Amino acid sequence: MVYRRFRFRDCAAQGEKIVAFPGGVTTSCVDEGALPGRVVNWARRLPILDASCQSCEAIGICGGGCIFDGEAIYGPGQFDQRNCHFTKTAVKFMIWDIRDELAKERMTSRRWRNAYACSSEARPGHAIFGGA
């Protein structure tokens, strides 16, 4: 949200890593061995390609969570609903928090980044981390 970038994926198994198992077996997910007999194309499992996610208010920051957990807990082709709940809750929190901050005083770009960036710039005492 802060950096204006769409988050297409949350899971590194969607094309960001290769896992090598003993015996020369390679995959992109460390947990894939727990889905016996299934070969999953994790790279194509993007929320933006899923009809049930396309109208979600959090699609731009979600990324789908852990694809393995979605499949293992909720069934084939499913995303991790725990991640959905968390991301939607975070979006609502951010919107209301931003509204409250804007009502207090003029928000500059620098203050915006300092208040809402979830990176090394983030301050652990800020409200998004449960602080004051």
Mean pLDDT of the chain, nearest integer: 75
18, burial (CB in 10 Å: exposed 0-12, middle 13-18, buried 19+): exposed
- pLDDT value of position 46: 85
pTM comes to: 0.63
Count CA atoms closer than 13 A to 35's CA, side-chain side: 21
- Band of pLDDT at residue 36, cut at 50, 70 and 90: low
* Mean pLDDT for the stretch of residues 18-38: 73
CA 131-121-99 angle, to 5 degrees, is 55
Instruction: Locate the domains of the chain by residue range.
Output: 12-129
Tokens of 4: 């204006």
